[in-house]
Amino acid sequence: MERIEIGTRESTELIDITGKVKEIVKIKSGGVESGICVIFTKHTTSGIIINENEAGLKRDILAFLNELIPKGRGYLHDRIDNNAHSHLRSVLLGSSVTIPIEKGELALGTWQSIFFAECDGPRRREIYVKVIEG
Ligand code: ZN
C-alpha cells in the first residue's frame, strides 16, 4: 500500500490526485497488469470522488455542497467542534473510490479525474492507495 500526503489550502477545495495515483499504479505497484485500485481518505471531513477536471464544474460542485449542506444549521456536532457541515459533506461524497486496472493502467474514462475533496481545511491530509492484482 502507498500513501499520498497533501496539504490543503482552502476550507473546501477539490484537488486532482489523478497523476499521483497513476504514478503509484505504474511505478510502485510492481507493474500490475490487471487488478483494482482503491483510493481511500483517512479522514472524516473529506472525500474521494471521480469527475471532470473543469474549472467551472469544480466551483459548481463546491457551491452545490455549500447549498445542500450549509455551515451552522444548528447541527448537534457543532457543539463539540463546529464542523458538522464538513462531516456531513464527507458522508455525501464517500471516503473511497475503486478503479479497474487494465493493461497496467487505470481504466478511467476520457473525462474522469480523481479528486481529493477537502471539506474542513486547510489541513495535512493522508490518502491510501491500494493496488490489488486480479
Ligand atoms: Zn468534528
13 CA from centroid of ligand 1 (Å) = 18
- Nearest Cα to Cα of residue 127 among 113, 116, 118: 116
41 CA from centroid of ligand 1 (Å) = 16
83 CA from centroid of ligand 1 (Å) = 5
- Written as nine digits, the cell of 16 is 486532482
6 CA from centroid of ligand 1 (Å) = 20
94 CA from centroid of ligand 1 (Å) = 16
2 CA from centroid of ligand 1 (Å) = 26
Residue 5 CB contacts under 8 Å (≥ 6 apart), including other chains: 124, 125, 126, 127
Radius of gyration of the chain from its Cα atoms, rounded to whole angstroms: 16
Per-residue model confidence (pLDDT) at position 32: 86
Per-residue model confidence (pLDDT) at position 83: 98
Per-residue model confidence (pLDDT) at position 14: 98
DSSP classification of residue 33:
S
Instruction: For residue 1, tell me if it sits in a domain.
Output: no
Residue 93 CB contacts under 8 Å (≥ 6 apart), including other chains: 46, 47, 48, 49, 65, 117, 119
22 CA from centroid of ligand 1 (Å) = 32
Instruction: For residue 65, tell me if it sits in a domain.
Output: yes
Per-residue model confidence (pLDDT) at position 122: 98
Instruction: For residue 4, tell me if it sits in a domain.
Output: no
For the chain, the domain total comes to 1
Per-residue model confidence (pLDDT) at position 27: 85
Q: Which residues of the chain have pLDDT under 70?
A: 29
120 CA from centroid of ligand 1 (Å) = 9
92: containing domain: 16-133
- Written as nine digits, the cell of 28 is 510502485
CATH of the domain at 107: 2.60.120.460
Instruction: For residue 23, tell me if it sits in a domain.
Output: yes
Instruction: For residue 32, tell me if it sits in a domain.
Output: yes
Instruction: For residue 8, tell me if it sits in a domain.
Output: no
User: For residues 41 and 116, is the Cβ–Cβ distance under 8 A?
Assistant: yes
Per-residue model confidence (pLDDT) at position 35: 95
